[in-house]
Structure 1
């Protein structure tokens, strides 16, 4: 028999996070405060503390929820050949963001702002997105499948991929580029890194895919 109390707590927690996403989308990190969040969620401030925590913990829950959505969607499409992974990661990310672009943009900017606060750094934001673990898995699989030569350490390839991806992601978050351009730039970064260690046949394939972008 389901635990009714636990289910109700989870529903209230999700309602809080849903309203937090709306507040972030509407006014950014400064617009998110627990008093207003409690009011629009139909609960009290102590309830927010009990279910989630302070403002920082609320934001972390929103950010981690975004990461979890990406992981769940991508995991549902795996396993796939390594050659398919760059496009799969890129299209999965942009498809999720497209569902509520303003909320994801505001969440990304807020997480990045806290993560890079030298006085009070937090362990979430751009630097801790799950894209790195999937890029690492892709490179290991590509090596096993004979697509990479193994001359360049996988960590170096992944660092290059994630560096390019994060630059594109920040440009999107700051409205420098569109969501479509984010997908293309991120994908191009994956291909550039893979080409650096690709076997001859795979390099030709990667170069051809880059030209299509």
Structure 2
């Protein structure tokens, strides 16, 4: 009798563990990550129109210079998500002359990601200090991006860090591991269920 019960117990343990792993991974995927399809050209060539981009949800305090973030615009008429790169954070001095590089706190930025190697895009000269708790954002396609350069009169063109919803994932390893954990968890749940069904069918009738 004990020998017959061991496969049943093993199947139940496998099923329970698989269900827990699958549920936890799926919940984390749903709440910790998101994905969008790019529908503009502002971040070309890094994220061209039609590209599928994956993001991890972060707190405002986790935003760093160089991050590509998904944030809510602060338009009065509507609030829609936008994809831009963080150039400056609170306290940074950001400046640029037409045709020249962007400088942050006096240091020129190396920006290999900008479209056609053009860090300016014919924007007017600017020299601003980013208020605390806010971000200075630019698109990678500087000649075709509505970003912080064009609203300098409103808090130096910055947006509140609290408008950031998520940060683009450069490395998808963690996301893949979560997806695999969810998959194996579902397989384990199915295996445990099959084992339980087989055991019940084979159980002797008294």
> Normalized against structure 1, the TM-score is what?
0.22
> Normalized against structure 2, the TM-score is what?
0.22
More helix by share: 1
Determine which structure has more spread, i.e. the larger CA radius of gyration. 2
More strand by share: 2
